[in-house]
Amino acid sequence: MRLLEGRSVVVTGGARGIGRAIAEACLEHGGRVVLADVDADAAEKTAAELARDGAEVLPVGCDVTAETDVENMVARCAEAYGSVDVLVNNAGITRDATLRTMDSDQFRQVMDVHLYGTWLGTKYASLRMRDQGHGSIINISSISGKVGLPGQTNYSAAKAGIVGMTKAAAKELAHLGVRVNAVQPGLVRTAMTEALRPEIWQEKLAGVPMGRAAEPAEVGSVVLFLASDLSSYMTGTVLEVTGGRHM
Task: Give the residue numbers marked as catalytic.
Answer: 155
SS3 letters across 83-149: CCCEEEECCCCCCCECCCCCCHHHHHHHHHHHHHHHHHHHHHHHHHHHHHCCEEEEEECCCHHHHCC
User: What size, in residues, is the chain?
Assistant: 247
Adjacent-strand bridge partners of 214: 188
- If you write DSSP's letter for every residue of the chain in order, what string do you get? --TTTT-EEEEETTTSHHHHHHHHHHHHTT-EEEEEES-HHHHHHHHHHH--TT--EEEEE--TT-HHHHHHHHHHHHHHHS---EEEE-------B-TTT--HHHHHHHHIIIIIHHHHHHHHHHHHHHHHT-EEEEEE--THHHH--TTBHHHHHHHHHHHHHHHHHHHHHGGGTEEEEEEEE-SB-SHHHHTS-HHHHHHHHHT-TTSSPBPHHHHHHHHHHHHSGGGTT--S-EEEESTTTT-
Q: Which amino acid is at 183?
A: V
